Structure 1
Amino acid sequence: MKTILDTILSGTATSADYAALQIPESYRGITVHKDEQEMFAGKSTWEKDPRESLHLDDVPVPELGPGEALVAVMASAVNFNTVWSAIFEPVSTFGYLERYGRTNPIAKRHDLPYHVIGSDLAGVVLRTGPGVHTWNPGDEVVAHCLSVELESPLGHNDTMLDPEQRIWGYETNFGGLAELAIVKANQLLHKPTHLTWEEAASPGLVNSTAYRQLVSQNGAGMKQGDTVLIWGASGGLGSYATQMALNGGATPVCVVSSEDKADICRSMGAELIIDRKAEGYTFWKDEHTQDPKEWRRLGARIRELTGGDDVDIVFEHPGRETFGASVYVARKGGTIVTCASTSGYMHEYDNRFLWMNLKRIVGSHFANYREAWEANRLIQRGKIHPTLSKAYSLEQTGQAAYDVHRNLHQGKVGVLCLAPEEGLGVRDEELRAKHLTEINRFRNL
């Protein structure tokens, strides 16, 4: 592994040099163990500690299949699905691996008693399998996390509709929180040349998710002049939605939970801020009863900020805690676009405010390859910037996941895998210098 790293750090190695490298028999990766699936039984979600379930193990390098690439991972990042994997909620990921393993002989590799997790990476291609023609050893890449088979016609209009669509590193094995990773070649994108390895690794999942959810016609189809309510607007997902709204000529109404987070939104250029904690919003009277008065109060506050307008789009991801309010505050004919449900999956809302006002609820899940490519292009061109706040070592991944689980972080949390230190991997210093303030906006918050 040291030889691989030295080759990457040299900055002069050719594709032939990479192709000549010996691939080790094993590598270090962050895993969860199948025999520990019940370790948190009887504990609440809040009590489950990722530091107890995440392991740094030496695991065998899997055989490379057709259409795949073996990537040396310089850096990765923690997402909410990292937390879900670690606390075995809402279900253990080993069920996904078992089902995938039954689909074909090559997929059987994924059904193991351990799961190497992680759905982001920035690194260098080492090997490609049969049938790969676009990517070569030595290519510096980032990976999006959509894994598809595309043997069904259902996925050929929008690959997210492929019946065999999976999230790499969550519903498949050999993920990005490791020194090596296996991805399909159609997951690869060119690494933005002005970013470090850890910066380049951080946008992938959330940036692509936000792009489809907010900008794509498969999501809300945001246009210039729209007003967008963004929950968690300084967080890992919301911070990209905020940037996209501003970059696309829309007006974000940023919902945050502290003045520090409000300041982050202002630094991105947002002007309309709601601090839900300072203003005391409580959308539930108790576990079973919502409070419509709080919906109305939120709606009034939005109109106060916008000069009388309701929002065209609600960018939803908290789920149960906020969904009733989200449906209420969208304008007549407006759109509530939802992905994830970090506060609970069983949403409740008053359907009168949906059907009688001709509103739409749109489900959105990650992004197809074209959407991920377009989202990455915005990063490459310096239109959208990474929101990395802190980078941990691979050995500290449990703590990084704990911070995300407990919402102790800002923006995105990165993980150095093979990269020995931060700040490496920049190829375009001139472009970087133009955007250094924006790139570092979230650092060390």
Structure 2
Amino acid sequence: MMFFLGWMTVAIFIPVFAPSLPVLAFGEAFCGISWGVFQTLSTTYASEVVPTILRPYVTAYVCMCWGAGILLSSGVVRAVAGLEGDMGWWLPFVLQWIWPLPLFIGAYYSPESPWNSVRRNKVEEARISLMRLYQDMPEREHRVEQTLACIKYTTEMEKSETANASFLECFKGTNLRRTEINCVVWSAQILCGNAILSYSVVFLQAAGFSELQAFNINISLSACYVVGGIICWFLFPHVGRATIYMSGLTFMLFCLITIGGLAWGPGKDAQLAIGIILVISTLCNMISIGPTCYPIVAETPSGRLRYKTITIGRFVYNLTRIFSNSVTPRMLSSTSWNWGAKAAFYYAGTNMLCNIWCWFRLPETKDRTFGEIDLLFTHRVPARKFKSTHVDQFAHGGDYLSKGEVEHKENAV
């Protein structure tokens, strides 16, 4: 993290002083290397430094931080929209230099992931990190030793399945299923209709809004990222990850169909309705799909392949983003396909496909430890039975029983 924050500081020089568009594009790509590290490393780190009960909140907070950054950048873009000359595009790039130094200091003082330390056979480093993470807890030393023993046990159990822990292992055995979940859950963030939200300014202009009106509404849309994440926090203790995710997809589907239907309604009323539904669908997205994605992708991989699986999933996400960035502007542009608001129908179709996949393939990992999740995948438990299956990760051979078998066993006793 610290290395690539330094990389970012240097990379920003290229777009700031770019003399031409090709150099500007090269500078953006150079910055993209560090952005790729940040977006994969942050989720993995967040899932490994907190107890199971706090994992969904901290991983979802990663999404809220994305939203806060998008909100801030939307405000900057709106502020420079009226500037003449090069200052309008130059100033936003310059302002990026504000962030690397304070983030570098924060990374320097942050504890190392104890899971990562154990995987690298640095048990004492893991113990020191846990002592820092548990510093305000009663019986700290006992809790640290308990947690460390659990991490070592889970890591040893995973070693038997993924001895070499190479990228190829992500596509073998039960890890293939985990990689599939990671890839689709990441990609569905775009295919659910979020691609239109990302082009909200262009979309609103295609729907008939003026440029400044579109920028103003875009700020409201960006604010939904933060507000929605906070609301999602209150849902996590009561509702499962898969339920929240699929409910968000379903609501977004109806919003997209409505937006597409309003494309045939000319006049200011239809434009206003599209703007309102766009804000509502963004809020829904950031209450459900956006933040819930992060605990899912952090919890489903095996510990020894977590970094690699999340990296593969995020790579597929970026490929999907490249595709959507290629076709969505053409859908919306009056000089190309000129679909306008009808483009919502296309993403309604991709949204439905994602929802169908989720019903059959997306497991429920709420309140599960990493060891329990490993056993459920090892025993190839169907996605719809993840929630009701009882697991004893410390039993010899990793025993597991269905909910009905547990009740029968308890009644017999």
Higher helix share: 2
Normalising by structure 1, report the TM-score: 0.28
Higher strand share: 1
Normalising by structure 2, report the TM-score: 0.29
Larger radius of gyration: 2
